[in-house]
Structure 1
Amino acid sequence: MANLLELVTAEQLEVYELTGLKGEGLGLSFSSEGNCIAICGNDPNILLFDNYVDCKKGGFPLVGHKNAVLEVCWSKQSNGTLVSCSADRTVGLWDVEFLKCLTRFKGHSEIVNSCKIEDSIIVSGSDDGTVRVWDIRVSTKESCIYEHKWNYQITAVTLDCNMSNIYCGGIENIIFCIDLRGNNIAKITGHNDTITGLDIRSETDQLVSNSMDGSIIIWDVRPYSLVEDRKLSTLVGSQHNFEKNLHRVRWNGDGDLIAAASSDCYVYIWSVKYQKLFQKLPGHTGATTDVSFHPKLPIIASIGMDRRALIGKYTN
């Protein structure tokens, strides 16, 4: 039996392709233990792959959405819980052990572009200009515990591990920090175009953002930052083009690497310590849209507009 991760780690496979995508790829994510990966795209079905079984088998479909799925995110606290957001205007919560949709949160009036989960809290951002916070512990009708509306589309969201601060951005070029405890909203400025991806470093106060202005910026988001403009460093290399895809950006588990998708078909990886490009990974024939680091191994996954999802090893 061919174990996918063993083959890639042992370099018997330089790159492995996950098959089954029926449309352009938009998002993917390794589970918290790294034993599964979920991929999504213009097909309403999410595909779930078990990395420790025969890699020639296709993915298991998670059926529930009615339109394209733009992003997927695993719970760090529960290896069997996945959240998704869709062009059908809903946010999905999944029990992957039983391949079952537990609920679809309704409330957005337009495409939901981004979602994240931390413990029992889900945050989502939509073209309707709203950020919504959902509590999975309460009934569906009462599960939206917070909502804020802006005048422009929200394209990326994330939240910290304490579930106290939400970060969101969109076509207004500004990152907003929502303090849920004090119900305060602060602005982080520095980008000159749409924010396409946000990710916060686990248990720290560093946020990374990707923008259509072509820059990846690391921000100090401590409440009383000593950095005047909060900008710790700017990483360059990845690209955006006229297609205006939502190219995502991700930290690795150790917080020493950052990876981003790019319109030039590559995956870019930077060293945070040295603030320089670490690797530029080929393999796709169309723009890449999302990336995901394996939580334990030097393996990275990517997905793109070429309808391909690839898993490969990067230099450790």
Structure 2
Amino acid sequence: MALPDSDLEAIQQLGAAHKRLTAELGKVIVGQQDVVEQLLVALFARGHCVLEGVPGLAKTLLIHTLADALSLQFSRVQFTPDLMPADITGTEVIQEDKATGHREFRFLPGPVFANIVLADEINRTPPKTQAALLEAMQERQVTVGGERHKLPNPFFVLATQNPIEQEGTYPLPEAQLDRFMFMVKVDYPSEVEELAIVKQTTTDVKTSVTPQLSAEDLQSMADLVRRVPVADHLAQYAIRIVRQTRVGRGESGPSKNDMVDRYLSWGAGPRASQFLVLAAKARAALQGRHCVEMADLRAVAHPVLRHRIVTNFNAEADGVTPDHVIDRLLESTPAEAAA
């Protein structure tokens, strides 16, 4: 199905806005091009992200800068073991009218009432508090005192976690991790990038960004992403990749992967197929293209799948990670086979 001329023009505008956004973020963030790209794809696809990386890699700075470049309200919550659900969602307080003496409950919104919410070290808080945030992500509303309160639009949650420190943490269950569109790996900078970081951050010069889009622009462009067409054979390719992650349920034929049964406990569900296609649509639109290509699906496979496939003890013993399995899946399911 072809897009109308108005949408084709809007996609060109989105592609231009993407270039401006990337350039603006580059004024503050050195390197991390893949991380920036994946965050923008998830944002325009209306998905949430988990960022995994050791401390000090500018995760918080990146997210704050992204909010500034999009004129969005930003909120940061430091997750700790004593954090309560009401500390995130908000609470009701008694307010007294000084003139009449009448008292009534008034709702005080919590930090979740923002356009971009950074859940810092989400795995350091108990499951009850994690669930409060994840419910808000899914329903885009919170219920306090029996009353529902809508969250602002757009609403984008970025959670961070440290992959090294495990003591005293509460790892997110797989069912809750599945609600995040992407798991983004934040790696160390290169030597050249680290030198640029040191030079940029050890002076008294403060670099700021200029807003490139409004919340209304972001909403309309996210709607546009949904209208980007995807060919049947590409959607089928996405489904085939996901189905091959399921232990004992791989498709017959040459694309069956021997790593799956050996190294995985279980694989990705249908939500992975949905997010693969949706993220591919967003990536195509951000690059100014009005249809999805095979390269889009393959580019988003790792962030979509890495937190949805669970490795077993064999994988741990052999040093096999989810990314290794995804690499093999993409190798054993060539793009030509889907044409």
Larger proportion of helix: 2
Q: Same fold by TM (over 0.5)?
A: no
TM-score band by shorter chain is: under 0.3
Look at both structures and tell me which one has the larger radius of gyration over its CA atoms. Answer: 2
Larger proportion of strand: 1
Tell me the TM-score normalized by structure 2: 0.24
Tell me the TM-score normalized by structure 1: 0.25
